[in-house]
């Protein structure tokens, strides 16, 4: 075989090899869409998203003018310059809505100038809230809260320890106006009924509701303390604390499970008395569960129901929710979960929570805006729940609330010095109760 023949054969083989490999031959191809976010057919996409992202295998540009639509409406704020990841800004999405993005053929091209010659179409569905079934009166309360949220803030006070309106009466004596909400506490259920506390006597709650006040109830849940015959809710090894193991909620044969079940059923009977009188309850159990767990290294829960971490806490929350809602048929409860602002892993889930609370006790600038804390909670629930200042020291300036944006659904100072002392609130109540952004009890509609 002469050299000329050998060279010809080699040239032919190289040529054929290049023809069979488009990458080697320099064949020009359009860009390829690698992925899209939200993905096609995605469900429960947040209605608060601000962009749809398209990812390509190479840099792309848009032809101008372009026509890109979301549910038929043009999207006009897209940067047409060279970019590998195409960002499509969106806003104002609504819940429970199917959205379809359409990018017509010959809209996107690569560096070679070759356009994608096929339409890009992607569909997603936004978040659908869980369905909650309330009694008629409770639905009216929920509707009122929903209509109020972001427009005004509801004034509130805490009972002086358990089953009274003493702090609300004090505010009335000072300002001539009652707060719209009063929170009671089943803290002493282990001693009820007795001559000094009897939760079956609901007259104080009935009177408040009949005067158009909103009823809230929390539960400092006392369980057997480390000292026999004593009770406690604070977590710890001291005699007046408890090492009660919340994780035993998953062990139906344990003594702890039996105590928790028994106590929940006792509280259910008290709540039934209010249901039978058509009184809705803004129900805030198991509050501040995370404590300082996520606040700093070595941080701990301060109540026993948070003592074993987020997982058993959520099991207990869901157990209580199911027991009260489905077993005891208590449809007069509006459930409030209390966040520490840094505890998304402790959130029981949208199906088990109606409102989110935040408890704040600032040591300085006690009437300053609390927008930073408000936004932390807002992010945890993706703005899907109303947010209340479920406990506080100083009440934030109501004008600042609506100027800055921390529009708490309600505020509720703790009892005693937090309500009455001037360094916390005290005389400041006069300013608060006369503010046009604040709802007092005399401004409440009848929700019966």
User: What are the angstrom distances between the C-alpha of 177 and each of 152, 171, 172, 395, 432?
Assistant: 17, 7, 5, 16, 11
Instruction: Give the active site residue among 47, 256, 373, 391.
Output: 391
User: What are the helix (H) ranges across 284-386?
Assistant: 310-322, 371-380
CB 425 within 8 A of CB 412: no
Closest C-alpha among 383, 377, 413 to residue 395: 413
Work out the burial of residue 331: count CB atoms within 10 Å of its CB; fewer than 13 is exposed, 13-18 middle, 19 or more buried. middle
Work out the burial of residue 306: count CB atoms within 10 Å of its CB; fewer than 13 is exposed, 13-18 middle, 19 or more buried. buried
288 has catalytic annotation: yes
User: What are the angstrom distances between the C-alpha of 258 and each of 252, 262, 263, 278?
Assistant: 7, 6, 9, 30
What token pair was written down for 322? 């199911």
CB 166 within 8 A of CB 414: no
How far is 389 from 260, CA to CA, in rounded Å? Answer: 28
Instruction: Give the active site residue among 47, 167, 288, 373.
Output: 288
Q: How many other β-carbons are positioned within 10 Å of the β-carbon of residue 11?
A: 10
391 has catalytic annotation: yes
Long-range contacts of 161-164 (CB under 8 A, 24+ apart): 161/185, 161/187, 161/188, 161/415, 162/186, 162/187, 162/188, 162/197, 163/197, 163/199, 163/204, 164/204
Residues designated as active site:
288, 391
């Amino acid at each position: 075989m002469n050299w000329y023949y050998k060279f010809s054969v080699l040239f032919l083989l190289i040529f054929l090899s290049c023809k069979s490999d488009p990458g080697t031959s320099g064949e020009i191809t359009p860009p390829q869409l690698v992925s899209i976010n939200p993905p096609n057919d995605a469900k429960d996409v947040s209605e608060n998203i601000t962009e749809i992202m398209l990812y390509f295998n190479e840099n792309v540009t848009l032809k101008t003018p372009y026509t890109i639509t979301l549910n038929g409406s043009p999207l006009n704020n897209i940067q047409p310059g060279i970019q590998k990841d195409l960002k499509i800004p969106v806003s104002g999405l609504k819940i429970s809505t199917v959205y379809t993005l359409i990018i017509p053929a010959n809209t996107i091209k690569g560096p070679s100038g070759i356009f994608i010659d096929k339409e890009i179409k992607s569909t997603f569905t936004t978040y659908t809230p869980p369905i909650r079934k309330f009694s008629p009166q409770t639905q009216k309360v929920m509707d009122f809260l929903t209509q109020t949220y972001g427009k005004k803030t509801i004034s509130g006070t805490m009972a002086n320890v358990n089953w009274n309106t003493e702090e609300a009466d004090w505010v009335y004596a000072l300002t001539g106006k009652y707060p719209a909400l009063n929170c009671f506490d089943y803290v002493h259920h282990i001693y009820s009924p007795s001559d000094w506390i009897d939760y079956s006597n609901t007259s104080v709650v009935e009177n408040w509701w009949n005067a158009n006040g909103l009823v809230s109830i929390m539960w400092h849940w006392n369980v057997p303390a480390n000292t026999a015959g004593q009770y406690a809710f604070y977590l710890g090894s001291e005699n007046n604390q408890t090492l009660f193991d919340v994780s035993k909620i998953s062990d139906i044969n344990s003594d702890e499970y039996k105590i928790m079940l028994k106590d929940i059923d006792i509280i259910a009977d008290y709540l039934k008395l209010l249901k039978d009188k058509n009184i809705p309850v803004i129900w805030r159990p198991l509050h501040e569960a995370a404590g300082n767990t996520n606040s700093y290294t070595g941080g701990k829960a301060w109540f026993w129901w948070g003592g074993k971490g987020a997982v058993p806490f959520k099991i207990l929350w869901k157990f209580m929710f199911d027991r009260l809602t489905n077993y005891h048929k208590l449809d007069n409860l509006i459930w409030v979960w209390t966040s520490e602002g840094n505890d998304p892993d402790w959130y029981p889930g949208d199906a088990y929570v109606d409102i989110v609370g935040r408890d704040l006790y600032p040591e300085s600038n006690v009437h300053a805006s609390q927008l930073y804390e408000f936004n932390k909670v807002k992010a945890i629930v993706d703005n899907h729940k109303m947010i209340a200042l479920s406990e506080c020291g100083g009440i934030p300036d109501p004008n600042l609330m609506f100027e800055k944006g921390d529009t708490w659904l309600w505020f509720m100072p703790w009892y005693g010095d937090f309500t009455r002392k001037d360094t916390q609130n005290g005389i400041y109540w006069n300013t608060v109760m006369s503010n046009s952004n604040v709802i007092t009890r005399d401004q409440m509609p009848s929700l019966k």
